[in-house]
Structure 1
Amino acid sequence: MLPGASRHATATSRSAGGASRAVTRTLSDDPLGGTVRRTVLPSGLRVLTEAIPAMRSVSFGIWVAVGSRDETGTQAGAAHFLEHLLFKGTHKRGAMEISSAIEAVGGETNAFTTKEYTCYYARVLDEDLPLAIDVMCDLVADSTLEPADVETERGVILEEIAMYDDEPGDEVHDLFARSVYGNHPLGRLISGTVETITPMTRRQIQSFYRRRYVAPQILIAAAGNLDHATVVRLVRQAMHGSPLDTDPAEPAPYRPATPAVRTRAATTVVEPKETEQAHVVLGCPGIDRLDERRFALGVLNNVLGGGMSSRLFQEIRERRGLAYSVYSYASQYADSGLFGVYAGCAPTRIGEVLELTRTELARTAEHGITEAELARGKGMSKGSFVLGLEDTGSRMSRLAKGELLHGHLMPVDELLARVDAVTLDEVNTLAADLLARPMSLAVVGPFGESDFTA
């Protein structure tokens, strides 16, 4: 039985050939949502659905447990390159047919690549779900990766990289990740670089596609007005005879958390640019996503820089008017994490902003937070989570991330209870550890590294 799964009835259904069986379990009947069911097909591909009869739409996603951290140095950007290419055509459909099929019924399709997974999704009216399943399964399972399309998308991605270079507010976060992780894949750009994308061949991408996009690594998630058995049947039909219709296998386990990623000693990295604003991130290695302190970290992050009432926002923006945007954030991976504070300010004010940030982090590390801040931080965590479940897309994402990243789906009530159970001592102990760590600094703006030496 899956960790966290409810003990509901178990059902099985025979495959089209009648030999292998797909195993289905009901994971939960959530009072704040719908019925969640999980089916493992003989190939190891998983299908999770949440039936929400009150909705008239369905969000359907195909999630692949492959991201930029799974690339070698010469492959950097391959996962993102592939994400672009899968929409260019299959043996059944061309690029125009893929996009027009969904748009003709008022639906939308898109995809995104992260450091640990890739997602392809569609959102349609409930009556058009069969079409969405057929189109999305086709493009993920059976893309042709035509040479001409590879060259076209290479140009698109190089333009995307160039556009990114003009967004220093985004660039500084990747600069910060590189300052902590160095040459580790978690420190590299998801998009790759001009130096890796330009020489990348179709054969390299094709090899990455067929080695990485295998049934045990793939999860299908859907939420909305649907019937689980119907979704499973339609997925099996769409995958029948495709490269993902393979011999029986077990689903791949979620990404292991050991060995822990080694991080660099605290450092300062500056990207000199003649920008109107200075963009800075000050931070350190954090905790991984399975760390039991993650709920305390959520509360601490809210108190420090999670909203307009947070300490950093009040001190730097509201009281002193030094920055328009200032916030803290935590990124968590299977075996590592980051904690950072971002601010965008006039270059002449960067010294004051950094001094105030360091002072607040040190004060919180030494003295902790108050009972009133604890209550507010918990309320923000619970409210943002529940309010984020009000559309089918976020519910579909929750199903997939629970399965891929945690190995089980935590019920809403249990998650809220975990937040409620966080104590002041837990938050303050974490603050004393995390915020006292040596801090790395990433800066994009009209500076050199010598501007930040003691």
Structure 2
Amino acid sequence: MSDIRITTLPNGLRVVTRAMPGLHSASIGVWVGAGGRDERPEQNGVAHFLEHMAFKGTARRTALQIAETIEDVGGYINAYTSRDVTAYYARVLSADVPLALDVIGDILLNSTFDPREIEVERGVILQEIGQSLDTPDDVIFDWLQEAAYPDQPMGRTILGPAERVAGFARDDLSRFVAEHYGPGQMIVAAAGAVDHDRVVAQAGEIFGHLAPVIGTTREAARWQGAESRRVKRLEQAHFALGFEGPGYRSPDFYPAQIWTAALGGGMSSRLFQKIREERGLCYTIFAQSGFHDDTGMTTIYAGTSGDQVADLAQLTIDELRRSADDLSEAEVARARAQLKAGLLMGLESPSSQAERMARSLAIWGRVPDPAEVAARIDAVTAADVRDHAARAIAAARPALALYGPVRKAPALDILAERLAA
């Protein structure tokens, strides 16, 4: 897009903005290219802990003052940690963009990691871990990830195990920052009522003094595929099936998304129609795609009764096999339309724009024009999607996670044999 501007500071920090005329607000943040998969085993959970601690006080502001500074002007500030990225961002009115970037820079560069606050936040994170374990349709995806990528950073939970979180100290947080929070790992992204030159100037004032860091080499993901089954008395049996997918830079990036959307991207999708609407075996069923630099995963999730989980699993496998043979032009056209609509709707949101620009710049070193992306989506044919589906289900052993009354669920080996039949 012609209104997207990118500047790289001398120390390697990149700034990307998109001015959106007619808006009175903006979204601005810093995306750091370090997340859960950059942790060593003994660090598991520290990236997420660090994200929490960023809001617990700096040399200039207390935790309350951080919140009040943004909320006093009607803004919103938050952060998240993923396996690849940690992001710190705010949504404010146009006049308060400099204030928001100042606060974000402050929490990134000047956090004190007060030992008393570490103990308080440790309790908060342990509660978060406990809440996740009490949420079956949340924790099952962690178990699926672990089954797909066992004994490696890609398979570890982002929150970390409670026993690790219980032991983190100030030095653990400082060490992770020193290893990964260099200017070359940071992208400042802003969209909405913003002025590029002013954002660049302020970013230089805040971050320009930072020296580059070498960091550590990210361990490549190795898909293995395994089964994780936890039997527990619950109302529903939770079923999650994963297939290795392409990475961001793969030629299959768009066919994989279209296949996923056709399978379980909405009420008209195959899995929804066949398993919920025709058979009534579940209330919720969907498919989704996840992507990383070097790997990806196509995931199918459903919740059903313990007595029906076997039927649901077998029908899911059958629909996957059929999709490689007879996915229709109409289904692919519908999936393409869904992807393009999601892209274009996101262009109307400053928050979505900032996120998209930061991620695109990190992955491809540029921000593809929406027209280019739409053309790539339109270029994918039904034959392309069927071919991708056939290769995806034949390439590697799937991963399977089961939770709840799942004694009657078929074993992964049985499902894999049915898939290959």
Question: Is TM more than 0.5 here?
Answer: yes
Instruction: Give the counterpart letter for 2:379 in structure 1.
Output: A
Aligned counterpart in structure 1 of residue 296 of structure 2, from 332, 337, 348 = 337
Superposition deviation, residue 429 in structure 1: 0.9
Q: Is residue 184 of structure 2 the alignment partner of residue 212 of structure 1? A: no
Counterpart CA distance in 1 for 2:226 and 2:12 is 44
**1:312–1:79 CA distance, 2 compared to 1 (3 A):** same
Aligned counterpart in structure 1 of residue 162 of structure 2, from 194, 205, 216 = 194
CA contact (8 A) 2:54 2:107 kept: yes
Matches for 1:35-434 after TM superposition, within 5 Å: 35-239=3-207, 245-247=209-211, 261-264=221-224, 266-365=225-324, 367-434=325-392
Counterpart CA distance in 2 for 1:304 and 1:115 is 25
**1:449–1:217 CA distance, 2 compared to 1 (3 A):** farther
Where in structure 1 are there 5+ consecutive unaligned residues? Answer: 1-27, 30-34
CA contact (8 A) 1:283 1:339 kept: yes
Cα shift readout 1:21-57 (whole Å, capped 9, x = no counterpart): xxxxxxx41xxxxx11111112211111101121110
SS in 2 for 1:123: strand
CA contact (8 A) 2:310 2:409 kept: no
Counterpart CA distance in 2 for 1:450 and 1:168 is 16
Superposition deviation, residue 407 in structure 1: 2.0
CA contact (8 A) 1:278 1:347 kept: yes
CA RMSD of aligned residues (A): 1.9
Cα shift readout 1:208-267 (whole Å, capped 9, x = no counterpart): 112211111111000011111111122223346xxxx234x5x999x98xx852222x43
Counterpart CA distance in 1 for 2:222 and 2:100 is 42
**1:217–1:64 CA distance, 2 compared to 1 (3 A):** same
Instruction: Give the counterpart letter for 1:359 in structure 2.
Output: D
Counterpart CA distance in 2 for 1:406 and 1:145 is 34
CA contact (8 A) 1:362 1:436 kept: no
Counterpart CA distance in 1 for 2:226 and 2:60 is 52
SS in 1 for 2:27: strand
Instruction: Give the counterpart letter for 1:400 in structure 2.
Output: A
Matches for 1:426-445 after TM superposition, within 5 Å: 426-437=384-395, 438-445=397-404
Where in structure 2 are there 5+ consecutive unaligned residues? Answer: 415-421
Aligned length: 411
Counterpart CA distance in 2 for 1:195 and 1:236 is 40
Counterpart CA distance in 1 for 2:121 and 2:38 is 21
CA contact (8 A) 1:284 1:439 kept: yes
CA contact (8 A) 2:313 2:409 kept: no
Instruction: Give the counterpart letter for 2:151 in structure 1.
Output: N
Instruction: Give the counterpart letter for 2:403 in structure 1.
Output: V
**1:184–1:449 CA distance, 2 compared to 1 (3 A):** farther
Counterpart CA distance in 2 for 1:180 and 1:217 is 27
Counterpart CA distance in 1 for 2:103 and 2:409 is 54
Counterpart CA distance in 1 for 2:352 and 2:176 is 29
Counterpart CA distance in 2 for 1:133 and 1:410 is 25
Judge which range, 93-102 or 426-435, deviates more: 426-435
Superposition deviation, residue 320 in structure 1: 1.4
Cα shift readout 1:356-395 (whole Å, capped 9, x = no counterpart): 1011111122x14111112111111111111122211000
SS in 2 for 1:231: helix
Instruction: Give the counterpart letter for 2:181 in structure 1.
Output: Y
Counterpart CA distance in 1 for 2:205 and 2:82 is 29
Counterpart CA distance in 2 for 1:327 and 1:122 is 31
Counterpart CA distance in 1 for 2:404 and 2:19 is 49
Counterpart CA distance in 2 for 1:334 and 1:381 is 20
CA contact (8 A) 1:364 1:435 kept: no
Superposition deviation, residue 423 in structure 1: 1.6
SS in 2 for 1:348: coil
Instruction: Give the counterpart letter for 2:285 in structure 1.
Output: V
Cα shift readout 1:80-126 (whole Å, capped 9, x = no counterpart): 00000011111111111100000001100000000001000000011
Judge which range, 410-419 or 299-308, deviates more: 299-308
Counterpart CA distance in 2 for 1:368 and 1:307 is 19
Judge which range, 107-116 or 422-431, deviates more: 422-431
CA contact (8 A) 2:309 2:408 kept: no
